Amino acid sequence: MKTERTNATGSVASPWTMLLPIFVFLIGACTKEEPLLSLTEEDFEFHFVSPHPEQIIPEGDTLNIEIHVKGPGVLHGYSALIFEPLGSEFLWSDQEHVHKQELVISGQWINNMESEMPLELHLEVYPDHQLEPIDTAITFTASGSG
């Protein structure tokens, strides 16, 4: 005795129709792009021209920020922040989505801190659109009048 499978409307269901959800799942799994490699901070060249680690910025002075970054391929952008390590707000920020072999990050920050404060310049570099950003940071000090 031959039996036929029917769908919700009472029509005879094709075996292909019943397998469609499985094919959709498999196609989705195959086209999902996985990162081809993983990168670490050691795969990049970071050159902090200014500030440099442990530099002291006198009150009222302008810090000319300059950082050079080279990676193992075309870089896709960056995000940079200066903040107090124990604070919740940032004092300066810059970000850009670019496609370059070498990034040159530049900007200015005026030290208007009222007391001496350790600060951190945190940099995230985006090696591509799939991989996690590469993080690095340096600390420096803003001196104040108080």
When pLDDT is cut at 50, 70 and 90, the band that residue 137 belongs to is: very high
**Which CATH number is associated with domain 41-142?**
2.60.40.150
Q: Tell me the pLDDT tens digit for each residue of 31-74.
A: 343 444 678 888 899 999 999 998 999 999 999 999 999 998 89
When pLDDT is cut at 50, 70 and 90, the band that residue 128 belongs to is: confident
Q: What is the pLDDT of residue 89?
A: 84
- For the chain, what are the domain ranges? 41-142
Q: Are 142 and 117 in contact (CB under 8 A)?
A: yes
Q: What is the pLDDT of residue 37?
A: 66
What order do you get walking across the sheet with 78-83 strand by strand? 56-57, 134-142, 117-125, 78-83, 90-96
Q: Can you tell me the distance from the alpha carbon of 88 to that of 110, in angstroms, rounded to the nearest whole number?
A: 19
